[in-house]
């Protein structure tokens, strides 16, 4: 997705440099800058350098294999819509090295190129996919934010467009809202548990059927006691839901809001500045063309003596043309700075948004796992409350209950009556 324009006067890289790489030490990857210059990234430390790490003292270098050219891409996609790169490991955040004399990712409009050979996305000109081999992605094996949100997305109704970065911000805001709703859901679950526990405890104190006696009476008393035990289990469950699920979700959301403020509209402001610089370059180029045309016309008129223009007029026109050229170069430099800043901030910020989203999803997953674990424990404890009931029910003996009742309530023994024969 790197822009391809070159500043006027820049010397292109020698043929074959793009496709030749050195055998790199472990942890290093090579990429191409927008001007075709090769640079190197340490995927562990995110250090970037223009010098091949293999050329550092003590590390031998040797030519690498030819780079394989795959079907053309736009913003990291093949024309077929599939990811642009074969599997390889890379994870980087572009940063300027201390001795970097060339802005990584900087470019200028330069001369107007044909519509067939270039495309312009957000005021940055990219090579047309039919005219240039693929460009390395920052994360070749992943659907990463930093590779697929450079262009704008059209409104399905055709009423306008939305910046790709704004889509990322909306994704983050939507995630924050869903996290809030999840917290509210768990809170409702806690209320249900607390109310359920309260009703169970109340029911366990009910005196209905308290007159039952014997072994069946013991079992019935244990049934009622098990309700009190179950109520206590559900109260503990609701308390753990609050401390181990609901509260962490809310705390994470608050921290998430703080992190989001860092990314709020910074990129949008940089993009507006980039568009302004781009427009200034186009205006300066047009002014230079007019000044050059005016100078050429006056020079021709003087040569064929169709005008009374003096040599002083020619010098004045030449000064204006030179001034217009200087203005163009100044605008180009400002554009280069804005484009480089936008490029680097876009990469850095999208990687940060990606990190926040991955962290959010993982955090929610962990706490939902905690919820299911607590739920399993609650079921296990509930089962333990009825085990004494099962044991007593197995000991219920109708004959023993009858015997006990008779012993307690007997009124006298039946004695045989003497009968005369």
Structural domain contains residue 126: no
Q: What is the pLDDT of residue 228?
A: 95
**Structure-model confidence comparison of residues 414 and 351, the more confident one:** 351
What string of H, E and C letters represents the secondary structure of 298-348?
HHHHHHCCCCCCCHHHHHHHHHHHHHHHHHHHHHHHHHHHHHHHHHHHHHH
Q: Is the pLDDT of residue 245 over 90?
A: yes
Q: To the nearest whole number, what is the mean pLDDT of the chain?
A: 75
**Helical H runs in 242-310?**
247-263, 266-303
In a domain, 399, yes or no: yes
Other beta carbons within 10 angstroms of residue 44's beta carbon come to 11
pTM of the predicted model as reported, rounded to 2 decimal places = 0.59
Note whether residue 218 is domain-resident. yes
> How many Å from the N-terminal Cα to the C-terminal Cα in the chain?
126
Can you give the pLDDT at residue 216? 93
pLDDT in tens, 292-324: 888 888 777 776 665 555 677 888 888 898 999
Nearest to 290 by CA among 312, 323, 329: 323
Q: Is residue 284 part of a domain?
A: yes
- pLDDT at position 81: 35
Closest CA to 35 of 63, 49, 14, 65: 14
In the chain, the percentage of residues whose pLDDT exceeds 90 is 32
Tell me the C-alpha distance between 72 and 12, whole Å.
21
Predicted pLDDT at 271? 84
Least confident range from 22-36, 178-192, 357-371, 386-400: namely 22-36
CATH of the domain at 242: 1.20.1270.60
Residue 72 lies in a domain: no
Cβ–Cβ under 8 Å, residues 77 and 47: no
Question: Is 90 exceeded by the pLDDT of residue 198?
Answer: yes
Torsion sign, CA atoms 89, 94, 98, 100: positive
Mean pLDDT of 241-264: 79
By residue range, what is the domain housing residue 269?
Answer: 165-403
| Residue carrying structure tokens 């047009």 | 286
What is the Cα–Cα distance from 128 to 72, expressed in whole angstroms? Answer: 8
Tell me if 335 is assigned to some domain: yes
Residue 330 lies in a domain: yes
Q: How many domains does the chain have?
A: 1
In angstroms, the CA 248 to CA 354 distance is: 21
CA distance 404 to 213: 9
- Does the residue 356 lie in any domain? yes
Residue 355: the pLDDT is: 87
pLDDT of the residue at 415: 67
């Amino acid at each position: 997705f790197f822009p391809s324009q070159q500043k006027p006067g820049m010397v292109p890289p020698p043929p074959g440099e793009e496709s030749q790489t050195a055998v790199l030490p472990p942890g290093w990857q090579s990429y191409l800058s927008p001007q075709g210059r090769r640079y190197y990234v340490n995927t562990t430390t995110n250090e970037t350098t223009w010098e091949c790490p293999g050329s550092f003292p003590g590390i031998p270098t040797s030519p690498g294999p030819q780079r394989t050219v795959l079907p053309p891409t736009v913003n990291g996609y093949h024309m077929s819509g599939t990811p642009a790169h074969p599997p390889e490991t890379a994870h980087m955040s572009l940063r300027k090295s201390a001795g970097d004399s060339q802005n990584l990712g900087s470019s200028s409009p330069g001369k107007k190129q044909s519509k067939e050979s270039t495309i312009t996305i957000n005021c940055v000109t990219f090579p047309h996919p039919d005219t240039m081999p693929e460009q390395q992605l920052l994360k070749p094996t992943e659907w990463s934010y930093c590779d697929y949100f450079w262009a704008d997305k059209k409104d399905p109704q055709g009423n306008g467009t939305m910046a790709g970065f704004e889509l990322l911000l909306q994704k983050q805001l939507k995630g924050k809202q869903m996290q809030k709703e999840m917290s509210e859901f768990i809170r409702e679950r806690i209320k249900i548990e607390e109310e359920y526990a309260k009703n169970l405890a109340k029911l366990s104190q009910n005196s209905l059927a308290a007159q039952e006696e014997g072994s069946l009476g013991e079992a019935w008393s244990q049934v009622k006691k098990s309700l009190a035990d179950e109520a206590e289990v559900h109260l503990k469950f609701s308390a753990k839901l609050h401390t181990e699920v609901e509260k962490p979700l809310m705390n994470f959301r608050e921290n998430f809001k703080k992190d989001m403020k860092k990314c709020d509209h910074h990129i949008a402001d940089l993009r507006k500045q980039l568009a302004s610089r781009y427009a200034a370059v186009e205006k300066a180029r047009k002014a230079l063309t007019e000044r050059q045309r005016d100078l050429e016309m006056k020079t021709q008129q003087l040569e064929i003596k169709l005008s009374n223009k003096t040599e002083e007029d020619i010098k004045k026109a030449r000064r204006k043309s030179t001034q217009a050229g200087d203005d163009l170069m100044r605008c180009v430099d400002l554009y280069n700075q804005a484009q480089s800043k936008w490029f680097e901030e876009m990469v850095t910020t999208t990687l940060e948004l990606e990190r926040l989203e991955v962290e959010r999803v993982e955090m929610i997953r962990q706490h939902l796992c905690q919820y299911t674990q607590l739920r399993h424990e609650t079921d296990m404890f509930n089962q333990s409350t009825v085990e004494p009931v099962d044991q007593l029910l197995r000991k219920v003996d109708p004959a023993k209950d009858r015997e006990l009742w008779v012993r307690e309530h007997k009124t006298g023994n039946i004695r045989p009556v003497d009968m005369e024969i």
